Amino acid sequence: MEAKQFQSLLGFLLKREYEKDESLSSLSSLQEMIFSGSDLTEEFILSTYNKCINIIERASYSDVDLTAFESLIKDNDFTQQQQEGLTKFWKTNKKKIHDIVNRRTRFNNSLDKMSWRLDLKTKSKDVEEMNEPTAIVELDLTKNLRSSTEKKQQQQKIRFEMDRNQLQDTLEQINIIQKLINGNGDYIYYRPSEQVNRRVSIKHNTEYLNQSF
Amino acid sequence: MGVSFYNQNPFATPAKVSKNHRKLKRTSSISYIIMDKQIFNIGRLIDFQWKLGVSVSSNKCEELNTPFISVFLKVLDTNNQTISQSFELTLPEFQDFAQQFKDMSALMESL
């Protein structure tokens, strides 16, 4: 198998197994697309393909780094050329595969799209004059159910408006999250004591702080 | 209800609330007019809760170690019904989400 063909095989594998490209669902297209005109047997191509899947699944299971990956493929009977190809593949696609694997076990809804618009309310039926800016936000959510037939029904939109104060309050929360992500653990939380519902909510929001990552 | 309803949300600190109240008293008596007259809107955000966590392992990967942000929203729709929805964001998705709010806020300040 030529180096170029092996690279294409790995590219096919990434598209079919991870990116779930539906046009590649049949394995026979592998032979048509990459190995047409070559004298390699279908059996040989499939066994190489399966060997590659196997090694990549093992590598992604342990999320191994490049050095560990190199020693992992050394233990399997890949040719020198294939080893180089696989190393190159892992180097470029490790993060992508990790992200895809992570996303597959997301059971909560995901946010597909966010659209917003700023309006200035000027007049209404009962109010002669007002000058209130308002932010209208629309969020497109998708429920992560595995069944593809239900997919269409599982999309949902939420629309809401925020006035200046609401937007500021929400942004303040977002800034807190960003500070936490950036590792500013010294962010001081105010824990109000006079209102039970506040205390519970803020405790809920901070209970993950103790985890280090 | 209305504007002040959101100000009593769980995440506003008392300092912030009182600041807002002062601000409301001082500048936006118009807000109260609007509230009294019940101007319709397409839904009002009444709660924004979040959780920051780390996915540790799964059946497909023992070394996931990926942070995520869960967001829980409560919206009061036009029929006065509360809708609750939650969703999960990866870090890059969250950064994008955050940026949109920042853009919105910056533009609103200029209004």
Measured between alpha carbons, how far is residue A155 from residues A110, A148, B67, B88 in Å? 10, 12, 24, 14
Task: Return the pLDDT at A147.
Answer: 55
Q: Which residue's structure tokens are 């009294």?
A: B36
**ipTM computed for the complex:** 0.71
Residues A34 and A28 sit within 8 Å (Cβ to Cβ) = no
| Residue boundaries of the structural domains of chain A | 3-104, 107-162, 165-213
Residue among A105, A194, A213 whose CB faces B65 most closely: A213
pLDDT of the residue at A118: 93
pLDDT digits over B4-36, tens only?
Answer: 444 444 444 444 444 444 444 444 444 444 444
List pLDDT tens digits, range B38-75: 566 788 898 999 999 999 999 989 988 899 999 999 99
- Facing A201 at nearest CB: one of B10, B30, B67: B10
Q: At what angle do helices A164-181 and B14-27 cross, to 10 degrees?
A: 150
Q: Which of residues 63 through 92 in chain A touch B, CB cutoff 8 A?
A: 63
Contact A208 B83 (CB under 8 A): no
* Contact with chain B for residue A152, Cβ under 8 A: no
CA A106 from chain centre, in angstroms, equals 9
Per-residue pLDDT of chain A (213 residues), as tens digits, is 788 889 999 999 999 889 888 888 787 788 788 887 777 888 888 899 999 999 999 999 999 999 999 998 888 888 999 999 999 999 999 999 999 998 888 888 999 999 999 998 888 777 778 788 999 999 999 887 665 555 555 788 999 999 899 999 999 999 999 999 887 544 444 444 433 333 333 334 444 444 443
The answer to whether A140 and B93 are in contact (CB under 8 A) is: no
pLDDT digits 0-9 by tens, B71-87: 999 999 888 889 999 99
A170–B100 CB contact, under 8 Å = no
Distance (Å, rounded) from C-alpha A134 to C-alpha B104?
10
Nearest residue of B to residue A209, measured between CA atoms: B52
Residue type at position A47? S
Identify the closest residue of chain A to B41 by CA–CA distance.
Answer: A161
Nearest Cα to Cα of residue B32 among B42, B23, B44, B43 = B23
